[in-house]
Structure 1
Amino acid sequence: MQAWQVHELGEPGEVMRLAHVERPTPGEGQVLLRVRAANINFPDALMCRGQYQVRPPLPFTPGVEICGETEDGRRVIANPALPHGGFAEYAVAGGVGSAAVQLGKAAGATVIGVAGGADKAAAARELGCDVVIDRREQDVVAAVKEATGGRGADVVFDPVGGEAYTQSAKTVAFEGRIVVVGFASGAIPSPALNHALIKNYAILGLHWGLYNTKNPKLVQHCHEQLTELAARGAIKPLVSERVPLSGAADAVQRVADGVTTGRVAVVPAAENGAAA
């Protein structure tokens, strides 16, 4: 089969190499999956650089999230068992789910989207954000305060870190929450706890993958709820681009560089013109 492999750490576009390798052999409690689509996540780029909290042994295949098909024809979602990641024709995984979905809008909430550039701002508006702020053109702090009547945001979802976290602390409301998801900016902030104290807000870390070890039943419960929402059309993911397997390294690099919008999916079957 074909699979992308990383033999040395560095930028994805430089260190990912497409190779012919043997299909991975499932271990105890694992299944072999034909990869129908692999979503590109920022952790894939961090893993190539050796900057992610999970560091598989070299050589490894990136790709931490896939839609796959079992040998008996069931379509599932899964987090592949590294070092055999999803940017390949086949992967192995354990504890697979049932459908691919994405978080949607909470009922009754005002959603404020902070985007980097006109294209991303336009996409956020099309997806239903009540207020969209282009951080390259607007003062994020002032815009959030204006949109909330000076109150600030009750919940801030921050996957960026760096300057974005500084803005999060300035815009979070009294007794609000900042949910730290990642550091796409490359800068890990050092929170001023005295500021959290005087403003009474909480800083929460969210390492999603850890739930597979600490509370796997909760992961399954969330998948079931999200699948139900997707089935009735309440939520719909933005898949902005589908690339063949041969284009995976370039696509991972573009995600790393922050020049993509929405989800970019690697579709191995697209190499032969087939639909996933």
Structure 2
Amino acid sequence: MKALVCSAFGPIADLRPGTLPDPVPGEGQVLIEVKAASVNFPDALIVQGRYQVRPELPFAPGAEAAGVVRALGPGVQGFSVGDTVVASTGHGAFAELCLAQAAKVSRLPQGMDFEHGAAFVLTYGTSLHALQQVGRLQAGETLLVLGAAGGVGLAAIEIGRALGARVIAAASSEEKLALCRRSGADATIDYTQPEWRRRVEALTDGQGADVVYDAVGGVHAEPALRATAWRGRYLVVGFAAGEIPRLPLNLALLKERQILGVFWGEAMRRDPAQHEANMAQLGRWFEQGLLRPAITERVPLDHAAAAIQRLADRQAMGKLVVLPGADA
């Protein structure tokens, strides 16, 4: 099968289009013909050997896909050949065929095409788990989203609104902030500006944000924690800035703030029933018109490595979708 091949852990630029053997589903696995896959930040880490999972070489990156079930491994129930599905794959989605654990496969929501399905599972699954299970975001609270123009950030904006929160989006350019407003942000902040946290305080009558969703880290983490309200919840989602921050813990003490880690993949493994319930909720919200992934680029498999590099360099907005069947 055609695939984007990682033959050795190293620079993203070393990825090459090539071929890999057709995968065969094992116990509890589903074989999916990939119609669309999307680029996520872990793709950039996994090919460099910097992720918590290191697949056996050679492999195809790609952590989420949408497509058609082509075969079922032993023990799989609830799916049939020909079903249209979305899946969290971990890796392997930048190929014509990929495998996924049945517990991480869901039916394509009604009215959703493959391209939007490919942009749905990881970003929306992560953001709903972060905001609902970990952050316990309540209607009427204020949510601050850092890196808000990225895939998980835009998902967090839409989910925050669906949960009844007021959403403040923080990003690094007016173009990105405009996208955040189109996705439903109530207010926006350019966090490249000095003392940007004062803007959060001004927008919240001096109280700060009840929940902070931080997928960026780096130099933005400390001011974001300082902008968190009394007994607010600061969610550690990721480190797209490339630097893991060192936070002064007195900032947690002074306002009884909570610093909470978000590890969606492990939470999904430990509680697949909760993941299934979350995906069903997201599907209902999509059908109600409350959610719609913002796809900004569609690329063929031959251009997938460049798309991963743009995301790693923080030069992309929204979701970048890879189409294995498209011509270069």
TM-score by length of 2: 0.79
Aligned residue for 2:170, secondary structure, equals strand
Specify the alignment match of 2:326 in structure 1: 270
Distance 1:81 1:152 in 2: 36
Aligned residue for 2:293, secondary structure, equals coil
Aligned-residue offset at 1:191: 2.5
Instruction: Check whether the contact 2:9–2:48 (CA below 8 A) recurs between aligned residues.
Output: yes
Distance 2:177 2:257 in 1: 28
1:76 to 85, 104, 117: 85
Aligned residue for 1:236, secondary structure, equals coil
CA distance change for structure 1 residues 189 and 230 in 2, over 3 Å: closer, same or farther?
A: same
Instruction: Check whether the contact 1:151–1:173 (CA below 8 A) recurs between aligned residues.
Output: yes
Instruction: Check whether the contact 2:7–2:57 (CA below 8 A) recurs between aligned residues.
Output: yes
Specify the alignment match of 2:4 in structure 1: 4
CA RMSD of aligned residues (A): 1.5
The answer to whether residue 220 in structure 2 is matched with residue 211 in structure 1 is no
Aligned-residue offset at 1:169: 1.1
Specify the alignment match of 1:30 in structure 2: 29
CA distance change for structure 1 residues 217 and 107 in 2, over 3 Å: closer, same or farther?
A: closer
Aligned-residue offset at 1:59: 1.9
Specify the alignment match of 1:164 in structure 2: 220
TM-score by length of 1: 0.93
Aligned-residue offset at 1:151: 0.6
Aligned-residue offset at 1:137: 4.0
Aligned-residue offset at 1:238: 0.6
Matches within 5 A, 1:176-215: 176-215=232-271
Specify the alignment match of 1:93 in structure 2: 100
Instruction: Check whether the contact 2:62–2:90 (CA below 8 A) recurs between aligned residues.
Output: no
Instruction: Check whether the contact 1:181–1:207 (CA below 8 A) recurs between aligned residues.
Output: yes
Distance 1:6 1:181 in 2: 26
Aligned residue for 1:22, secondary structure, equals coil
Aligned-residue offset at 1:212: 2.7
Aligned-residue offset at 1:244: 1.0
Instruction: Check whether the contact 1:81–1:94 (CA below 8 A) recurs between aligned residues.
Output: no
The answer to whether residue 229 in structure 2 is matched with residue 220 in structure 1 is no
Distance 2:49 2:223 in 1: 28
Specify the alignment match of 1:257 in structure 2: 313
5+ unaligned residues in a row in structure 1: which ranges? none
Aligned-residue offset at 1:226: 0.4
Distance 2:179 2:90 in 1: 33
For 1:97-119, what per-residue CA distance to the aligned partner results, in whole angstroms no more than 9, with x for missing partners?
A: 11334442244321000011121
The answer to whether residue 172 in structure 2 is matched with residue 116 in structure 1 is yes
Which range moves more in the overlay, 259-268 or 138-147?
A: 138-147
Aligned-residue offset at 1:138: 5.7
Aligned-residue offset at 1:58: 2.2
Specify the alignment match of 1:50 in structure 2: 49
Distance 2:192 2:325 in 1: 38
For 1:29-79, what per-residue CA distance to the aligned partner results, in whole angstroms no more than 9, with x for missing partners?
A: 112101111111001001112111122122221101111211222111112
Distance 1:130 1:154 in 2: 15
